[in-house]
Amino acid sequence: MVESSPQDYLHFLSSPWSDTKFYEIRLQENLLGVSVVDHLEDALSAVYTFFDPDFVQRSLGKFAMLWQIKQARNLGLSWMYLGYWIESCHKMAYKNQYKPTLGFINGEWKSMEGQ
């Protein structure tokens, strides 16, 4: 995305078939991070979260996930979708911390417990 415009970036993060919201994580006046979340009929879907690396000690990624899970419950939704998971991708390993976990495998949802 070296030569991308702001509109290209927004198009990358949002979709025409979903109600995409950008949630700010703030400490007083300071913007610490942003979570991009799709609001679906029965779930929230975590699209992307980014944050200021100067605040890595605050575990803002975990905070964002826990907040989204709580928000899904508050909205009466059944699911919180963490997005794609690739077992060999270190950056996606955090998804293993959230249980129960289901995977869409060969066209059906299956438990990932014990995988």
* From-to residues of CATH 3.40.630.30 in the chain: 6-83
Residue 52 pLDDT level (bands cut at 50, 70, 90): very high
Residue 98 pLDDT level (bands cut at 50, 70, 90): confident
Measure CA of the first residue to CA of the last residue in the chain; give whole Å.
34
Superfamily holding 6-83: Gcn5-related N-acetyltransferase (GNAT) (3.40.630.30)
Q: In the structure encoding, which two tokens stand for residue 84, read together?
A: 């794609």
Q: How far lies 25's CA from each of 3, 57, 61, 94, in Å? A: 27, 14, 10, 19
Q: Is the pLDDT of residue 41 over 80?
A: yes
Tell me the C-alpha distance between 79 and 109, whole Å. Answer: 13
Residue 99 pLDDT level (bands cut at 50, 70, 90): confident
- Mean pLDDT, all residues of the chain: 86
Q: How far lies 32's CA from each of 17, 54, 60, in Å? A: 28, 9, 8
